[in-house]
Amino acid sequence: MQFMASPPPYWTGCAQNRGNSDGMGRKPSYTPLKKTFLAMKLTAILLFCFAMQASSKGFSQKVHLTVKNAPLAEVFKELKKQTGFSFMWDEQTMRLSKSVTIRAKGKEFRDVLNELMKNQPLSYSMIDNMVLVKIRPEKPGMVAPQPASTPRDTVQVKGRVQNQAGEPLAGVTVSVKGKSTVVQSNDDGTYHIAAEPNEVLIFSYTGLGSQEERIDRRTQINVTLQIAANDLNEVVVIGYGSRKKKDLVGAVGVASSKDFGDVATSNASQLIQGKMAGVQVLDNGGNPGAATNIVVRGTGSFTNTTPLYVVDGIQTDVNVFNSLSPYDIQDITVLKDAASVAIYGAQGANGVVMITTRRPKNKKAQISYDSYVGASRPWKTFDLMDAAQYVGIVKEWFANSGATMPGNLNNPDVLVTRTDWQDVMFRTGKLQEHHLNIGGSTENMNYTVSAGYTKQSGQVVGSDFQRMNLRINLEEKAGKRFKFGQQLSTRYRVSRGVAASLVNGLRMPPYIPLYDPSNLLGGFGIATSAKDANDSQNPLVATTYRDVRNRGFNSYLQLYGEVQLMEGLKFRSQMGITFDFTQSYNYNPTYAANQLVTQNGISEAYGYNLGYIWENYFNYDKTFGVHGLNLTAGMSYKDEGLLRGLSINGSNFPNNEIHQIGAAQTAVLGSAYANSGSRFISYFGRLGYTFNEKYILSGTIRRDATSLFARDFRVGYFPSAGVAWRLSDEKFMHALSWISELKLRGSWGKTGNSNIAGFAFQSNVWTGSNNSVVYPLGPGETLFNGTTIAVPFSPALQWETTYSTDIGIDAGFLKNKLSVSIGYYNRDNRDLLVGVPLPPSRGYGGVAGAPNSQVINAASVYNRGVEVTVGYADRKGDFSYNVSLNAAYNKNQVESLGTQGAVPIVEGAFYDVPNSTRTAIGSQIGAFYGFVYDHVAIDANDVEKYNELARKATGNASAVYQDGLLPGDRIYKDVNGDGVVTDDDQTVIGNPIPKWSYGGNINLAYKNIDLMIGMQGFAGVDLVNGLNFYMQGFALPFNGKTDILNRWQKPGDITDIARVGQNVPSNVQRMSSWYVENGSYLRLRNVTLGYTFSPAKLKAFTNNTLTSLRLYVTGQNLLTFTKYTGFDPEVGGGIFDRGVDTGGYPHARSFLAGVRLSF
């Protein structure tokens, strides 16, 4: 909004009187936690008493105003200067206003507003320090404002206005273009207006794009308003507050319910897959209920990459986030840069995921019901060898290896294919979800109660998942200054059964039948080493007989109280209480799945934790003329509280009928833990300043103290600063009308990572497994139980820290139809915790279970990258479209591993390959490391050629290029050029962290029909196809892919499949680039086609029972474009073994049919 430099002619005189304001800040000094906690209690009590006594000065401000026949909009501008209150209206509303004349000397602000509105067809409401001006609602018998003369030929137009989700919109302004005829929609979204047959109706609503509809003699016009392409007034949630999108200085990604789509998800994380630049959602498999991990701007820690989760403004964890039903989530905001996350200090190094839950939108109680049912199937299977092909390869393997083959393999009966093991393991999965929501509001209260049920039977036999959700949300107002809220979210989940082992099934001999009555221990067909040279287990044995259930109950309670202390100043106290309970149960009877007999036994584990967080903060937000000021100051106390759990194992059951550990003849305590929670106490502050709505400054500071570290290292300070410049508001930019918005922004800050093991600085001892550490003492060297120091004392252990620099540009073009956001970031992660080896002479560890290493702050890593988001939205008549695309480039590199003899971190073992990844200076975290595969030796001449090169390079007449090299073996490259292949020729051979991540949404709508397409993918990423150890390597006589038929068999063969059974340690057990494949992919995540019924037809058909009805069909993972030859290119893993595929549960292709209706 522009402000006047001098009063216009119609002002006859005015004086300004600004509201008083004062503030107080104290620099807290650190005290022990107990004393600080007591101080927090006293502080909160005093603040509450002060709040009870304080009086609001906003409405009681004195205003001096004298005007004559002045436009109402100009009067509002002057009032903003005097009071600091902002006024909001839309063009259609202000078109109805009348000029005003008023003389007010020292009158209260409220009285002046009432006098101004007395003869206007408008009303107003107060939201914080904002006055929202709107059309006065019609009362019974009241006629909407009409033009001076009513045309003789008019049409009575009725209809309903809704959002993209099919929900009715109340308070939508409906006006006749070029005239003052205006009405507003009711609570159910309906409206009624009179106009001429060929006139145009304009529908407008704050936060949504306006829409025009030519009447063309229609009497029924229903409208769906779309989200504005680049709404600068859109409010974005940030830490301890919110900001308009135009005032942000940081990098923030937002996805709302319109972006989620109608999809089947096991947890809420999957809703934002591919929706935001620089935000990766990594699935740990496609099995129902599988966990996911959100990674923001690359991996920057060796201990934990989990971001902080904040639900409705209160910190929590990933369990609470995933306990929310996707239908209860309004939007998800991800804070990515330091300017945004530093206010969370030690919790924010990995980014912050902020969730806003749904609130009722209508005053009248409304019941909504969402439901879908569907089916899923694997999108890919392997071409496996049949029985004859398999037996032929097995015989060749024995001939080449020199081992003795079982005589059973010469039986003609083994040449008959009896079982398609993939067909046995895979099935058509079933999906269903139901969600019921009841919500509404009164003048002083709003409420929401929702319940949901989800059931998923996976595409692999034996995997079933159920989830039940309940959420209750209440908000109350007490007078004009007090507001209170309570929210309870609970989730009960249970995973039943054990999924069939895909690896076991793929390796099974095709001639083995699924069932075999001669097997008295289970009745399933089995393979044995003695008979079949194959000991892979029948995959359906464990699935059929094991009774496995993993249960979890999560409960999350939020409480808050808020008071308006004075104009622009609020105080809020809030608390979040989390309770988690888990129970796992696994019983197996006596059965045989191969030559080994599994005895009956049971294992059970129980655990719970109870924690809470309590936060108190002030927020001051006021505008003084062209100066905007926002201050936040507060404190936070977090206690992870009580933790307790145990596991117990039982065996030797008298029979297979009693699945209760009390019936076991032998019961052993497995493990137990209790009370290892950490505590945090923090103080934080933020200053935001805007000048003339063009120049924006922001600064934050947070002081964290924790029990995780030794006394001298418990405190950390985390500052940030950010600036932004809205160039589009400069006069020299006004001539470029095609540029709607242009903003430059930059930030710097420091954050910390506290997601580490508790009390890792303390020394501890190890007594061995079952007290196995003993010492021989005395003349007779009698063995006595003892201990060894496993971990040395590390008093200097402290926070992992991240220094971030971020610059970006946000732009809008063509009246904000086209939006572009480009950002660059540099995340410098320092003081990362890493285990540094200690020499055995130090006396630490050296026994099983106690490694001889010390955890210190030694490593450093950086992530640098670019993020781009592009969106375009427009409407042509009844057709509207919205396209949003995003892409991000990230470079990850290790800079240091410490100075105390640190060595590279080696992990990623699979099957008989000892390791596949190496984290070293100059490479990525978990980079694939090994030999570079060249080709399979064609013949003896090919082998001799390479041996001759070795002799020339070394000058040794007996030198060989590669030990044991024979025709048909894999030849590896001499990387260091010394002429021979040794361990020194190992190098980085792959990149498990994607260089590029991208995604996008396409939304199309024509009248009542809508289509949504969502996509996501990675590029510049490699995967280790560990399953090829069996599927192509044929390391042992197990079944595999038909690719093995193209193996090397005789001199002259050119192939990449080595001779089976020959030189297995070199050909198969050696990690090389032969295992590494291009893991890039593009996946069509979801396609949804929906139809929303018109309200008029619904009312007539349902006798006014239904207010909205939408039907849709959805396809998930319909297409996947990739060169990866494994089951699925979405491969999870840990920090150091990401991207190592050992045949995990693949993602399914799903088809859903759903309904959404409201009463």
- Residue 1087 pLDDT exceeds 70: yes
742-769: average pLDDT:
82
1119-1130: average pLDDT:
94
So what's the pLDDT on residue 32?
44
Percent with pLDDT over 90 in the chain:
49
Nearest of 614, 484, 462 to residue 538 by alpha carbon? 462
| pLDDT (tens digit per residue) in 384-441 | 999 999 999 999 999 999 999 999 999 999 999 999 999 999 999 999 999 999 988 8
- Residue 916 pLDDT exceeds 90: yes
| pLDDT (tens digit per residue) in 188-231 | 788 989 888 888 898 887 657 677 888 888 888 988 887 655 55
1033-1058: average pLDDT:
95
- Residue 56 pLDDT exceeds 80: no
- Highest mean pLDDT (candidates 23-27, 189-193, 513-517): 513-517
So what's the pLDDT on residue 1117?
92
- Residue 29 pLDDT exceeds 80: no
pLDDT higher at 371 or 116:
371
User: At CB < 8 A and 24+ separation, what contacts does 1-10 make?
Assistant: 1/77, 1/80, 1/86, 1/87, 1/693, 3/77, 3/80, 3/81, 3/625, 3/626, 4/74, 4/77, 4/78, 7/78, 8/70, 8/74, 10/67, 10/68, 10/69, 10/70
- Residue 731 pLDDT exceeds 80: yes
Nearest of 1127, 1138, 1132, 1044 to residue 503 by alpha carbon? 1127
109-129: average pLDDT:
78
pLDDT tier for residue 25 given thresholds of 50, 70 and 90: very low
- Residue 165 pLDDT exceeds 70: no
pLDDT tier for residue 770 given thresholds of 50, 70 and 90: low
pLDDT higher at 799 or 1153:
1153
| Strand, coil or helix: 1093 | coil
So what's the pLDDT on residue 118?
80
Cβ-contact 436, 450 below 8 angstroms = yes
Nearest-5° Cα angle at 495, 493 to 501:
160
Cβ-contact 161, 206 below 8 angstroms = no
- Residue 547 pLDDT exceeds 80: yes
Return the DSSP state at 116: H
So what's the pLDDT on residue 899?
65
| Strand, coil or helix: 1150 | strand
pLDDT higher at 918 or 363:
918
What integer best gives the mean pLDDT of the chain? 85
- Residue 857 pLDDT exceeds 70: yes
- Residue 128 pLDDT exceeds 60: no
Neighbours of 910 (CB within 10 A): 20
Return the DSSP state at 1067: H
Neighbours of 115 (CB within 10 A): 15
Q: How many CA atoms lie within 13 A of 576 on its CB side?
A: 21
pLDDT tier for residue 234 given thresholds of 50, 70 and 90: low
So what's the pLDDT on residue 676?
67
Return the DSSP state at 115: H
- Residue 492 pLDDT exceeds 80: yes
64-77: average pLDDT:
81
Percent with pLDDT over 70 in the chain:
89
So what's the pLDDT on residue 1108?
85
763-767: average pLDDT:
75
Q: Is it true that 11-19+30-135 and 155-224 share their CATH fold?
A: no
| pLDDT (tens digit per residue) in 652-688 | 888 878 888 888 888 888 888 887 678 899 999 999 9
172-190: average pLDDT:
82
pLDDT tier for residue 121 given thresholds of 50, 70 and 90: confident
Neighbours of 149 (CB within 10 A): 6
* Tokens standing for residue 938: 């064609």
Lowest-confidence segment of 86-95, 100-109, 400-409, 734-743 by average pLDDT: 86-95
| pLDDT (tens digit per residue) in 461-477 | 998 999 999 999 999 99
Q: How far apart are CA 304 and CA 300, in angstroms?
A: 9
887 phi, psi to nearest 5 deg: -150, 150
So what's the pLDDT on residue 189?
82
So what's the pLDDT on residue 33?
44
- Residue 292 pLDDT exceeds 60: yes
Question: How far are the Cα atoms of 487, 772, 842, 849, 1034 from residue 792, in angstroms, in the given order?
Answer: 45, 20, 10, 15, 45
pLDDT tier for residue 178 given thresholds of 50, 70 and 90: confident
Which residues have CB under 8 Å from 529's CB, separation 6+?
535, 594, 595
So what's the pLDDT on residue 349?
87
- Residue 23 pLDDT exceeds 80: no
So what's the pLDDT on residue 38?
52
Nearest of 166, 298, 472, 400 to residue 867 by alpha carbon? 298
Q: What is the pTM of this model?
A: 0.81
Nearest-5° Cα angle at 835, 831 to 841:
130
| pLDDT (tens digit per residue) in 941-989 | 999 999 999 999 999 999 999 999 999 999 999 999 999 999 999 999 9
Indicate the class that CATH gives domain 155-224.
mainly beta
So what's the pLDDT on residue 506?
96
pLDDT tier for residue 769 given thresholds of 50, 70 and 90: low
Question: How far are the Cα atoms of 30, 300, 785, 859 from residue 993, in angstroms, in the given order?
Answer: 41, 12, 47, 18
1035-1063: average pLDDT:
95
Q: How far apart are CA 801 and CA 987, in angstroms?
A: 30
So what's the pLDDT on residue 1013?
94
Ranges of H-type helices in 1052-1094: 1064-1067
So what's the pLDDT on residue 369?
93
- Residue 172 pLDDT exceeds 70: yes
| pLDDT (tens digit per residue) in 826-837 | 999 998 888 777
Which residues have CB under 8 Å from 701's CB, separation 6+?
342, 684, 685, 686, 717, 718, 719, 720
Question: How far are the Cα atoms of 192, 231, 760 from residue 173, in angstroms, in the given order?
Answer: 11, 18, 60
Residue ranges per structural domain of the chain: 11-19+30-135, 155-224, 932-985
| pLDDT (tens digit per residue) in 1094-1106 | 877 787 777 778 8
Q: Does domain 11-19+30-135 fall into CATH 3.40.50.300?
A: no
Q: How far apart are CA 987 and CA 933, in angstroms?
A: 11
So what's the pLDDT on residue 1132?
86
| Strand, coil or helix: 380 | coil
So what's the pLDDT on residue 31?
46
So what's the pLDDT on residue 409?
94
pLDDT tier for residue 7 given thresholds of 50, 70 and 90: very low
So what's the pLDDT on residue 140?
40
| pLDDT (tens digit per residue) in 567-588 | 889 999 999 999 999 999 899 8
- Residue 310 pLDDT exceeds 80: yes
| pLDDT (tens digit per residue) in 986-1018 | 999 999 999 999 999 999 999 889 999 999 999
pLDDT higher at 492 or 785:
492
